[in-house]
Structure 1
Amino acid sequence: MKLGLLILLLLVGVYGDYSSLSYVDRPCGTDLSNLWLDVVAVVDNSQGMTFNGLQNVGLNIVNVLNNGTRIGSNTFEPRTTRFGLVTYNSVATQNADLNQYQSFADTFNGVFDAFLTVANTTESYLATGLELAEKMFVDQSFNSTRDHYKKVVIVYASEYNGNGELDPLPIAERLKLSDVNIITVAYEQPGSAGLLQGLSQIASPGFSFSFAKDNVAGNLVNEVQIALLQSNCFCANDWIQYSGSYFDPASTRYGICILPVTMPQVWRAAKMSCSHRWNNSNLATEFNQAKHDFILSAVRNTQGFSPPYQYHIGLNYVSGSWVWTQPTGRQQVPLQQPLMWLSGYPQLASDKSVVMNQQSAHETGWINIASMNVVANSVCETYSCDTDNYCDAQYFKNQ
């Protein structure tokens, strides 16, 4: 290829107008009707909650679920949500196991039946409610046909009490280590000092809410629904969920999973290896600086990668332009700004048609190389499991 023509094609590939094509990373699914979760609500019904408080909690629960979510189990549609209910005061009561409610109407009636009266005690120990929720998951969710469904506890509390065996924090930590997400909602009353701070320790990062602060114009319903959608957006073991910040677990998740691969190989072999890891998998894209930085952080924190870092990504030169590889059957995405080339790149050589990240003295950026010459580790990506992408049990067995 003549040098002048190659330079022109490179410039078109880099600076061409592709505004009609998407250049953003896949978001988590947002279809509440397709939630597929196992959820247990753990509700304080002590005197501190009050009757009005219980009614407000009931309204919040039914409004959160009144979005087309398929309640119960359905053998023909796997995207269903089971909903169990626990009330607690000095002791905990199982009002509904995970199989009792088989429709939204069942849930609506069951919730308000359970909240008709406040318990005749001022004692309120969240630990008892969390222990019962944990038992429900062990008995009816873990090691079952729904083992691969994400588990969620929603706590509604008016007080934060407990020491020793009644300290709720160790139980909450145990649940989170078992991959259970915890959403907390504080129902503040006079004298409930420390409630929000205590519940924020119980909650998964970013999932602590308050009736007083969030229940404005229905915002609390929206906040809990978003937390459920974020809970339903997750990756298989070993994959790292792309989010707004690698170091902030409360940052917003994207519908993308990242996998640093410690298998030195040439670019073409890395591309093929990524494409066979699962449906919709391919070499990683870096549409923006934040994604580039996130992937670099993941690489730095993965055993088997060492400085100076070198790893294949999915940028390559095809038919006159730089494009990002995409899953099989999908159109490749033309390169747009920002550009993260190291100084002196891309080099104008017809055989240097693929890209890897390379660490230099002060930065890590793109260099173009020959596809069959340089052996290095690589980074793959795939779609997350979420409301738009159901992952069956076999998916997790194959990872």
Structure 2
Amino acid sequence: MKFNLLFFTALFVVLNAAVIPSNKIPSSKPECSTNASTAYLDIILIIDTSANMGSVNLRKISTTMSLIMPKFTIGNNWDLSQGYRNTRISVVTYDTNATIVANFTDINSIGDLNNILNTLTASNSQEANFAFSKAYLAKTGCTSLEHDCADPISIRPTAFVVFAAVANSPDLQQIPQLFSDLDFYETGALITVNFNTTDQTLTNFLQNITHNYFANASMYNFTASSNTLTKDLEWALLQANCYCADFFGTNAIYFDPTNNRYTRYAECMILGTWEGQGYPNDTIDMCSWSQYQKAIPAFVLSAEKTNFIQKVWMGIDPFTGMADYPYYIGLHKNQQGQWTWYDYNKGEFPLSSYTNWSPGYPNGAAGCAIMDSNDKSTLVWKNYGCNTEEAGVDALLCQVQACDPSSIACCLACNAQVGGYNKKKLMKSKGKNRYIRKMKMINGKPVRID
């Protein structure tokens, strides 16, 4: 299932823009920044304090976080548009009941965090009611999971970090659907640490809620006994800070064979379509909906990226009943008749060693390229006319650099306004749709549709 996203912003039209050749070929797998000192995210620690966890494990949690968090800049100056790069931390505990032990404003230093974690004690209760409702309240101020409410800083990514020793909550079966229905995955990540791997119910539950649809595997799901836990948690927190913000795109996710895990990479993609009046001048124009986000027609430099695109944008649009493909990509002939891609500065770089032409293509004089399928299961390139109105293709795969600790490139709200950005309304999504990113351009304006 897929859905169209709607968002409102001024259209920035680039007319007759000069294209500058570039000799630098972008990375096919741009890594997310791992500079914790410039990270900007909200961390909510969700800690099982039932008797199943015990005091020894609570001390381990405290020690682990005391090793990780000094690398981050802890504080409550949250406005990214003002240049602040702070990490905010909240602590929620749960046993029979869930409690917000510390709101963001209670923790302004590593000392504050250590003091709070060192005072946690295990209860006598064996019951552990997962505290996601309280975590949602700590993040958004929403007192109910069933209603939207104002979130003053919804652009900031959130890492929900769950330290669990048992899974016996009465509403356990409903929690995966809760994560599916709400926006826990919209910006940020869910990170889990299993303190009782012999409990198969807990193990299965944590694998289930951390399952990534495109990777078809659990992501950011760790065990307390791992000798790399501190390193892994720091990495996962920084992965949460590698996201697509209000570009409404999807992070590229590839397998990392060196570390034997799936990983987010620092690029975001979105499929845009046009309707109504005001056809774009060219493929660059189709992605130029804002001067504050350097979105470009997507470049595809590896089979790995092709496979990822196939997982996301090769289905049937539930609104039209039509296949997502064909759609334009950034491949085109330059003024010298050579096949080239656009880079993020709208310069050009040459076709790499990777190609994916359909048999018999390129042919004729058509100087742009589309993603299409001959067998309804794999995508291939075909050269196609560049006049978007005459060619009859109204869709284009756009991409932008992801936001990460080194960049706010994807964040329109961060770049467009000086003096802070306005409150945004929380938007809910459904099921696997949270991963699928589309946009419609109606009469030349970007529109989000729920």
User: TM (normalized to structure 1)?
Assistant: 0.78
Matches of 1:227 and 1:49, distance apart in 2: 22
How far residue 339 of structure 1 moved from its aligned partner, in angstroms, is 1.3
How far residue 297 of structure 1 moved from its aligned partner, in angstroms, is 4.0
| Contact 1:85/1:97, CA 8 A, preserved across alignment | yes
| Contact 2:300/2:306, CA 8 A, preserved across alignment | yes
1:367 to 382, 394, 398: 382
1:268-347 residue pairs with structure 2 within 5 A? 268-277=281-290, 279-301=293-315, 303=317, 306=322, 309-320=325-336, 321-327=338-344, 329=345, 331-347=347-363
1:194-219 deviation digits (Å, cap 9, x = unpaired): 3322333344641221112x2x1xx1
Deviating more after overlay: 275-284 vs 140-149: 140-149
**Partner-residue secondary structure (3-state), 1:134:** helix
**Percentage of matched positions with identical amino acids:** 21
1:196-249 deviation digits (Å, cap 9, x = unpaired): 22333344641221112x2x1xx111222222222222223753332238xxxx
Match for residue 7 of structure 1?
Answer: none
Matches of 1:332 and 1:63, distance apart in 2: 44
How far residue 323 of structure 1 moved from its aligned partner, in angstroms, is 1.6
Match for residue 104 of structure 2?
Answer: 98
1:386 to 386, 404, 407: 404
Please, which runs of 5 or more residues in structure 2 have no aligned partner?
1-22, 144-148, 213-218, 256-260, 417-423, 426-445
Aligned length: 362
| Contact 1:43/1:155, CA 8 A, preserved across alignment | yes
Give the 3 Å change call, closer, same or farther, for CA 295–90 of structure 1 in structure 2.
Answer: closer
> 1 or 2 for the larger relative contact order (CA 8 Å, sep ≥6)?
2
Matches of 1:267 and 1:365, distance apart in 2: 24
1:123-168 deviation digits (Å, cap 9, x = unpaired): 23133x33322322232896233122223321212222222xxx34
Matches of 1:23 and 1:86, distance apart in 2: 40
Whether 2:211 is the aligned partner of 1:200: answer no
Match for residue 123 of structure 1?
Answer: 126
**Partner-residue secondary structure (3-state), 1:30:** coil
How far residue 370 of structure 1 moved from its aligned partner, in angstroms, is 4.3
How far residue 318 of structure 1 moved from its aligned partner, in angstroms, is 2.0
For the pair shown, which has the larger CA radius of gyration, 1 or 2?
Answer: 1
**Partner-residue secondary structure (3-state), 1:233:** coil
Match for residue 185 of structure 1?
Answer: 193
Q: Tell me how large the CA RMSD over aligned residues is.
A: 3.3
1:1-399 residue pairs with structure 2 within 5 A? 21-73=25-77, 76-112=82-118, 114-115=119-120, 117-119=121-123, 121-127=124-130, 129-139=131-141, 143-163=150-170, 167-171=171-175, 173-175=177-179, 177-180=181-184, 181-188=189-196, 192=199, 194-203=201-210, 205=212, 206-212=219-225, 214=226, 216=227, 219-235=228-244, 236=246, 238-244=248-254, 251-263=262-274, 268-277=281-290, 279-301=293-315, 303=317, 306=322, 309-320=325-336, 321-327=338-344, 329=345, 331-347=347-363, 351-360=365-374, 364-372=379-387, 374-376=391-393, 377-390=395-408, 391=411, 393=413
| Contact 1:308/1:359, CA 8 A, preserved across alignment | no
**Partner-residue secondary structure (3-state), 2:196:** coil
**Partner-residue secondary structure (3-state), 1:29:** coil
**Partner-residue secondary structure (3-state), 2:71:** coil
**Partner-residue secondary structure (3-state), 1:41:** strand
Q: What code does the residue aligned with 1:380 have? A: C
Matches of 1:86 and 1:375, distance apart in 2: 53
Please, which runs of 5 or more residues in structure 1 have no aligned partner?
1-17
Matches of 2:142 and 2:104, distance apart in 1: 7
Matches of 2:173 and 2:403, distance apart in 1: 29
Matches of 2:222 and 2:238, distance apart in 1: 15
Give the 3 Å change call, closer, same or farther, for CA 200–23 of structure 1 in structure 2.
Answer: closer
| Contact 1:299/1:305, CA 8 A, preserved across alignment | no
Structure richer in helix, relative to its length: 1
Matches of 2:208 and 2:359, distance apart in 1: 46
Matches of 2:47 and 2:97, distance apart in 1: 12
**Partner-residue secondary structure (3-state), 2:282:** helix
Match for residue 432 of structure 2?
Answer: none
| Contact 2:293/2:412, CA 8 A, preserved across alignment | no
Give the 3 Å change call, closer, same or farther, for CA 89–290 of structure 1 in structure 2.
Answer: same
Give the 3 Å change call, closer, same or farther, for CA 174–357 of structure 1 in structure 2.
Answer: closer
**Partner-residue secondary structure (3-state), 1:194:** helix
User: TM (normalized to structure 2)?
Assistant: 0.70
| Contact 1:43/1:88, CA 8 A, preserved across alignment | yes
**Partner-residue secondary structure (3-state), 2:28:** coil
